[in-house]
Structure 1
Amino acid sequence: MILKRVLGIFIGAVIVALSINSLIIPNKIADGGVTGIAIILHYLFNWPISITVFLLNIPLFIIGWKLVGRSFLLYSIFGVSALSLALDITGNIPCLTNDALLAAIFGGVISGIGMGFIFRSRGSLGGTDILAVFFSRTTSFSVGQILLGIDAVIFLIAAILFRPEMAMYAVIYMFIATKVIDLVQEGMNHLKSVIVITEQPQAIAQDIMEKLDRGVTLFKASGAYSGEDKDVIYCIISRTQLSQIKEIIHRRDQKAFLAISEVPEVVGEGFSSWKGH
């Protein structure tokens, strides 16, 4: 299990480093967090990004020693070390494109895949995540708000010191990377959760189990306005089964109340395994 996590973090760090060295740096696109600061310092003073990333994270690891779990911190230290090493090893990789927009788009895709591997392995690249936790405990702002504020400041500095387009492309890069991270962690096969309030719970539940081969949970509820007892069905289905379950419910009870929502991931019997989580 530990070896699998370490390998996942290392592979993710290499992928992120390839994106930065082949697309982001050659096209002078900013990045968020500590990596973004290191890139700006590289543009200003030609400091090696690999060493700068590692050095900038040292005080943050000291701050984070008591703030976050030690296991998470140790994996974060490994992640930063792996990224620094990968940035150094891939430093001479050729630029894939001189089109800044293409670089921002495909850099976001590649970096998102790499960071998705890291997060799936329950690691991180340290950096401003730790700083955000620290300030969230000493201010009224949330971790997400602080991270957004830090990245906004970094992009603003890049726009002032270099050119506004650098920050604009950085926003595209970060947006795409965030979406791809979610895709890597959650997968493309989003499921649907279905809640049905009906007067025919047993018949509908039986049809779902027999025709869709899905488990069903039944529970009691009461209407807040009417005070009447209600029978509620809950189940998880795939997208392809959505029309089938609507047909089952409509045929059994045309007055049924149906609510459907997205479920990014389901772990348990009939779905994905707990292995790797």
Structure 2
Amino acid sequence: MKLTHQWLSILEGCMLVALGLHLLNSVGLLISGTAGIGMILLKLTSLTFGQLFFVLNLPFYILAWRALGKEFAFRTFAAVSILSLLSEVFRHYIHIDIHPIASAILGGMLVGFGLIILFRHNASLGGLNILAVYLERRFNIHASRTTLIADLGVLSAAVLVLDSWSLLYSLLAFLLLSSVVGRYHRPPKWAQNNETKHA
């Protein structure tokens, strides 16, 4: 029962993130981390977001396996695969007409809450999320701080592909994501136990 609950939660987290990313993608806005990098590359290549997101995360599984354990690495691989699949499904079957401001608000919050669910169940969406979880587990640095720094890096790179309004709306999504994670995310028991071991 516990295992079923965990995987259902991971699926729910991925669905929230996928919907948030779909809202942002529908008006050409960005979000943080590897997903944001994928969105930037989406404008420069013929690959879909789901394909880019899956490929970009492949190198990070080694870090996850070595630094955070095989269970975390497996759950992260599963979450990335699920999100990539959901992104393809949403792209084909869900068509949204939405104002960029509404997209930024809803998209940023949905991605934030989805990440919280994944963090609580010893999973992430790869890339910079792995770094955020590692820093939180090892050095007690809250995940929202790491994601905010990553946001600023992605936003800086986005200057090359977005106009000023899209950058502004994307920044709003970034801030809402970071705010949600910062206010509602609490290090789960697996992180607290690890902190005790390193104390």
Deviation at 1:167, TM superposition (A): 2.5
Give ranges in structure 2 of 5+ residues lacking alignment: 190-199
Structure 1 equivalent of residue 160 of structure 2 = 160
Higher helix share: 2
- 2:13: which partner in 1? 12
Q: 1:192-246, CA deviations, whole angstroms, 9 ceiling, x for partnerless residues?
A: xxxxxxxxxxxxxxxxxxxxxxxxxxxxxxxxxxxxxxxxxxxxxxxxxxxxxxx
SS in 2 for 1:169: helix
Query: Is 1:119 matched up with 2:115?
Result: no
Flag the 1:95–1:37 CA change in 2: closer, same or farther, 3 A. same
Q: In structure 2, how many angstroms separate the alpha carbons of the residues matched to 1:57 and 1:66? A: 15
Higher relative contact order (CA 8 A, sep 6+): 2
Give, in angstroms, the shift of residue 82 of structure 1: 1.1
Q: Where does 1:144-223 land on structure 2 (aligned, <5 Å)?
A: 147-181=147-181, 185=185
CA contact (8 A) 2:143 2:181 kept: no
Counterpart CA distance in 1 for 2:182 and 2:16 is 16
Q: CA separation of 1:166/1:56 partners in 2, compared to 1, >3 Å: closer, same or farther?
A: same
Write the distance in 2 (CA, Å) between the matches of 1:133 and 1:67.
Answer: 10
Deviations 1:109-143 (A, max 9, x none): 2222322322232321111133567899xxxx998
CA distance in 1, matches of 2:66, 2:181: 27
Distance 1:130 1:6, change over 3 A: same
Range moving further from structure 2, 90-99 or 52-61: 90-99
Structure number with greater Rg is 1
The structure-2 alpha-carbon separation of the partners of 1:63 and 1:119, relative to structure 1 and needing over 3 Å to count, comes to closer
Residues 164 and 185 of structure 1: CA distance in aligned 2, closer, same or farther (over 3 Å): same
Higher strand share: 1
Local SS of the residue matching 1:16? helix
Give the distance between the partners of 1:28 and 1:54, measured in 2 at CA. 20
Partner of 1:30: 30
Q: Quick one: structure 1 residues 67 and 122, their matched pair in 2 at CA, closer, same or farther if it must change by over 3 Å?
A: closer
Taking structure 1 as reference, are residues 104 and 146 closer, same or farther at Cα in structure 2, changes over 3 Å only? closer
Alignment of 1:91-106 (within 5 A): 91-106=91-106
- Whole-Å Cα distance in 2 between the matches of residues 135 and 179 of structure 1? 18
TM-score (structure 2 length as normaliser): 0.77
Please, what TM-score do these two structures have when normalized by structure 1? 0.57
Within 5 Å, which residues of 2 pair with 1:41-120?
41-120=41-120
Whether contact under 8 Å (1:60, 1:131) holds in the other structure is no
Q: Does the CA-based 8 Å contact 1:14-1:87 persist in structure 2?
A: no
Aligned length: 183
**Map of 1:260 onto structure 2:** none
> How far does residue 38 in structure 1 lie from its aligned partner after superposition?
0.7
Shift of 1:180: 3.2
Q: Indicate how the Cα distance of structure 1 residues 144 and 117 shifts in structure 2: closer, same or farther if over 3 A, else same.
A: closer
Root-mean-square deviation over aligned CA pairs: 3.1
Shift of 1:155: 0.8
Distance between the aligned counterparts of 2:106 and 2:132, measured in 1? 28
Give deviations 1:156-197, integer Å, cap 9, x for gaps: 1112222133232222112222333456657xxxxxxxxxxx
Distance 2:159 2:72 in 1: 34
